[in-house]
Chain A
Amino acid sequence: MATGWAIIIGLIVVVLASVAAWFLSPKGETQTIWRSSLILSFASCYIMWAITFMAQWHPLIVPRRGDLRPEFAHEHKM
């Protein structure tokens, strides 16, 4: 369960980054564009990462292969 915290930590990081983006966006005509684009990008990237992480959190199937040779098996360990 411990790994589940990664999702929360990631969320906190992204929220902090979004807050920073809100305040640090350059002033002027393009401020809205900066803010919206940065925050949306952070959010989208976080969602994508979180989904991928959670999909592997409690895997229901395991990798299986028949072309592995014992002498090279160590190459697949890291």
Chain B
Amino acid sequence: MNLTDAQCDILNTPFNARIFLSGPAGCGKTTVAVERLQALLASGLSANSILILTPQRTLQAPYEAALCLPDIPPGGQVALATIGGLARRTLELFWPLVAENAGFSHPDQPPVFLTLETSQYYMARLVRPLLEQGFFASVTIDRNRLYSQVLDNLNKSASVGFPYTEIGERLSTAWLGEPSQRRIYTDAQECASRFRQYCLTHNLLDFSLQLDLFWNLLWRMPECHAYLTHQYRHLICDNLEEDIPVAHDLLMEWLPAFDSTLLIFDTDAGYRRFLGADPDSAHRLSTLCDTQVELSKSFVTLPEIQALETAFASKLLPERNANIKPGTLIALTYPPTETPTRYYPQMLDWVAGEIQRLVAEEGISPSEIVILAPYFSDALRFSLSNRLEELGIPWRSHRPSRSLRDEPASHCLLTLAELAHPGWDLHPTRFDVAYALLFAIEGMDLVRAQLLAEIIYHQRDLRLSTFDEIRVAVQERITYVFGQHFEALREWIEAYRLKPVPDPLDHFLRRLFGEVLSQKGFGFHRNNDGARTVSSLVESVQKFRQAMEPALVDFQSLGDFGNLELGKEYLSMLQDGVIAAQYVESWQIEPVEAVLLAPAHTFLMMNQPVSIQFWIDAGSTGWWERLFQPLTQPYVLSRSWDRDKAWTDADDLAANQQSLARLIIGLLRRCRSRIYLGLSDLGESGFEQRGPLLKAVWKMQLDIQGKNES
């Protein structure tokens, strides 16, 4: 790789140096860090002694790729981690040491690590009865988001490093609105406290408790401290500005113990602020480094894009006023006036057509193109991907186009699970049964599936009659082949129903899939996508069970959960959207050479520059709005916030402007050559849109128009 002199200097710095490397996105910071990692390994240092820390896993991709290269020396393994991952690993190792000191009721029992979903599940269990008592009466919010915001508060307290008992008070002090509304913070505090207490009683560890224990207890224990400082001798820490203050605190104490460190700081970033990212806190670490290096030249963007960055900054940030010259907007493309774009789908047509033109005529690789929006509704994702498919353009998305709940394959399996477990007392509709048959039997069509379901399925008592009981004329309509397969499925279910103790749901699903549905003549026999969905479903059920099972007996003895059927519980949680709603699956095989569809923030955190970005919904106010959450407030719960101060409109405005400017500058720094603005007169729901991003563009146009006229 060709490195600049500045990069070579960093690479060649001795392996006992502490380097603080800063600069804007696209100036080659990660590139040189990857080179340095390779150099460390090539020098003969043990891979086991190297720790790479990033704020989230996706940012580890360049390092993972480098570690897979053939010229990497064998032996040992570089540790790639996030602070959360590190906390969990260490807790697993040192549990017996920490359990009693932390106040767990059963220190002799192993801990149960909760995922985001299972945490949400427990929170839902605890908060639901409180809602009935009038908690949170004055907020209008989807219940799942209510639970997640209470969890978020706990996570903030652990990430920022203040006692969780202060959450309510901090939020309340900053509140300037209707005074009676303060009650919701008292409620939020109460829920957080009850949740923490519940976790301690039942050996449950959510993210906040893991982090809290790691930082406040484990790190201070000599055994653990010694283990970590001896194990890891070299540290590379990327995107420091996106990490949480407690991670920075840890590094402040840990840094002197490393032989070498390379800390990377992206200026003008801090996109994960709503998750606790704190660039100011990160910057403290520079004082502990003996070498400070700043890179500034972008390897990514063309001068036209850089001009655009200056122009946007001048319109979005009053203090960066700059002269906008004619020609500044050359890298910005709009739908031409002759293209009709009054309506939203017309704009989508234009976007898809333009992408086809870029790929076909300009030879641009689809992987060099992204379509970004502040928010991607399922309908938008589906409409766009459909258009691209029709034009033969491969595409990929930041998440599956359907949640697990909406996947036909999981629908099919879960309906069959309901049929196989009459004890659950769940009675799927005839439609669900027809759809399950449609999917479960290879070659089945909707008419026959429905005909069959109507005859054989008895919703009231869940009875499944046999194919033989059907009149011959109708049997012929359904066909004997389908009848035979239905019989095989029915017999399997009937046999299962006879089992004295039902299998755990994940075991059941695996068996049903392996013994019936994947066999010849059944729906999954040749359906690889369906099989992958099943695998993902099984994994999700299994995680749920594993999180629940160890504590189950205990819960039941406490009378908390009654006779809880985990399988049924999973189904109801899935139905309510508490669990398994949307998350990226490891099984998702995405074509790399594909146009990416993603929300703008997600793209930023992928940190992979492209040639061309389409910003659709450019008129939406979503570009400007931060994440508004009535029960939490990332700025007020941040470390830099003055605890006695109220959150005013000026704070709000400044935060919004900074956030939009940061987003736009971040996007531009990850764009090599051109931005396309997807504009339609009327937005997705048919209303005229004129958000601040669009207004900034107008202002630039007006400036230029004025200059041209003068």
| Chains A and B come from one and the same complex | no
Contact residues of A with B, CB < 8 Å?
A: none
Contact residues of B with A, CB < 8 Å?
A: none
